[in-house]
Amino acid sequence: MRKKSYCWLAAGILLIAANLRLPITMMPPLIPWLKSQLGFPTNMSGLLTTIPLLIFALLSPLIASFGVKHGNTRVLLGSLIFLVIGSYLRIIPNSWLLLLATMLVGIGISGGNVLLPAVIQEYFPRKTVVLTSLYTFMMGFVASLGTGAAAPIAQKVGLGSAMALISLFGVIALFVWFIAIRSVPQENNTKKTTTHSARASSLLKYPLTWMITFFFGAQSLLYYSLLTWLPSFWSESGFSTTTSGLLATLFQLCGMPLSLLTPIIARKRSGMYFISCLMGGGFSIGIIGLLLFQKNFIANVLLAILLGVASGASFSMCVVYFQRKTSSVIETAQMSGIAQSCGYVLAACGPVFSGIINGWTHSWVGIFLVYTLLALIMGVDGICIARHQPLNTSIDDLDR
């Protein structure tokens, strides 16, 4: 493959990464417009986040299998088509169509979630660390921009135009990816299918698979729960809506440096230990600090930064484990699919049950203590994963 082809492929990977959170994070700031213009019910607003997460959980194993059968790059192209169609269907002013379009967006994002780590490992084996760093950085950075810019853009140009403008990221990604895969040797995607496809279910037999699955689920639950409810917590603590929104944006932006640096730091096992401790400690201290310093603005700024750092490191560490604890591109895709399937079930439950418990108790203490315990267990789990040898199902099958 020529150098120009690699450049197109790398650009496509980064543009797909830019669309893996943006279509979700852009929606909460637009809820006031959805309510006023569409009459979208308040009790259904949480579905705009929950539906994609449930779609991720349902489709992740299937996406990995489709990648094996039809080629990762082709499946990603199909996923982008779903993403673009869903994104622009959301512009049509109809509440039920909005939910249907959100499902299509979830289908589109699922492909990138599962297959991008495998595509990076397959086509850029010597640049895996660099591209993984850039991929996780782009995902979080563009998502943060979407959160911060959605409401101001909607104020100036209206709801439909704002959604159309932000969704252009998906159109650009589709265009670049279509060009990129025309020069990609597709036989690379499928030549090992017969050898490896039978091993997909065998990953379920390994404790390491479930350790990584819990790790992914815990960090997803913490991230999406905090993303959903921190603005409400800060508002109830006495901060203005604007200040609460700025703190929430700070929470997302401060994950950027660690999402970029984590794959580099985690090249060695000692780095994996450090990141796992940073995650467990950062989430735990940050969440307890929120309860202790509810009225202190400076303290909450620092705590938002700490929580952002922990969340940025956690997702990048998941991608590192998908790549470093497997021995082939097929295993990477299958591990990613299994972990995300179960993990996003946890993630979808987090915001919903947090809201239900808060409604019953009118307090954040119990919820935040559960988050803290989960963060500590996740940190220990991360250390155990780092100590574990990578899977190699081909050797294990021969041993049998």
User: Residues 268, 350: one domain?
Assistant: yes
Looking up residue 50, the CATH number of its domain turns out to be: 1.20.1250.20
The alpha helices in 207-364, defined as continuous H runs, are 207-236, 241-253, 256-265, 269-292, 297-324, 329-361
Host H or E run for residue 51: helix 47-70
* Residue whose C-alpha is closest to residue 374's, from 251, 283, 278: 283
- Per-residue pLDDT at 292: 94
Tokens of 154: 């909607």
- Cα angle for residues 84, 86, 89 (degrees, 5° grid): 110
In a domain, 193, yes or no: no
User: Residues 115, 213: one domain?
Assistant: no
Tokens of 138: 């782009």
* Residue whose C-alpha is closest to residue 321's, from 344, 346, 338: 338
- Per-residue pLDDT at 190: 47
User: Residues 120, 2: one domain?
Assistant: yes
Do residues 141 and 256 touch, judged by C-beta distance below 8 A? yes
Domain of 39, in residue numbers: 1-184
- Per-residue pLDDT at 399: 43
User: Residues 248, 384: one domain?
Assistant: yes
User: Residues 222, 179: one domain?
Assistant: no
- Per-residue pLDDT at 194: 46
User: Residues 165, 265: one domain?
Assistant: no
Tokens of 316: 């990048």
Distance in angstroms (rounded) separating the CA atoms of residues 149 and 46: 20
User: Residues 67, 2: one domain?
Assistant: yes
> Tens digit of pLDDT for each residue in 53-93?
889 888 888 888 888 888 889 999 999 999 999 999 999 88
Domain boundary among 136, 151, 184: 184
CA 325 to chain CA centroid, nearest Å: 19
User: Residues 230, 336: one domain?
Assistant: yes
> Tens digit of pLDDT for each residue in 134-191?
988 898 889 888 877 888 898 899 989 999 999 999 999 999 999 998 877 664 444 4
Distance in angstroms (rounded) separating the CA atoms of residues 33 and 160: 10
- Residue entry with tokens 């796992």: 276
pTM of the full structure: 0.81
In a domain, 146, yes or no: yes
User: Residues 293, 374: one domain?
Assistant: yes
In a domain, 200, yes or no: no
Host H or E run for residue 67: helix 47-70
Query: In tens digits, what is the pLDDT along the chain, a chain of 400 residues?
Result: 567 778 899 999 999 999 998 998 888 788 888 888 887 776 677 788 788 888 988 888 888 888 888 888 999 999 999 999 999 999 988 888 999 999 999 999 999 988 898 888 888 888 888 888 898 889 888 988 887 788 889 889 998 999 999 999 999 999 999 999 887 766 444 445 444 444 556 778 889 999 999 999 999 999 988 987 888 888 888 888 778 878 888 898 888 888 889 988 988 889 999 999 999 999 999 999 999 998 899 999 999 999 999 998 998 899 899 888 888 878 888 888 888 888 888 888 888 788 888 888 888 899 999 999 999 999 999 999 999 988 776 544 434 4
In a domain, 399, yes or no: no
State how many domains the chain has.
2
In a domain, 315, yes or no: yes
Half-sphere exposure of 253 (CA within 13 A, CB side): 13
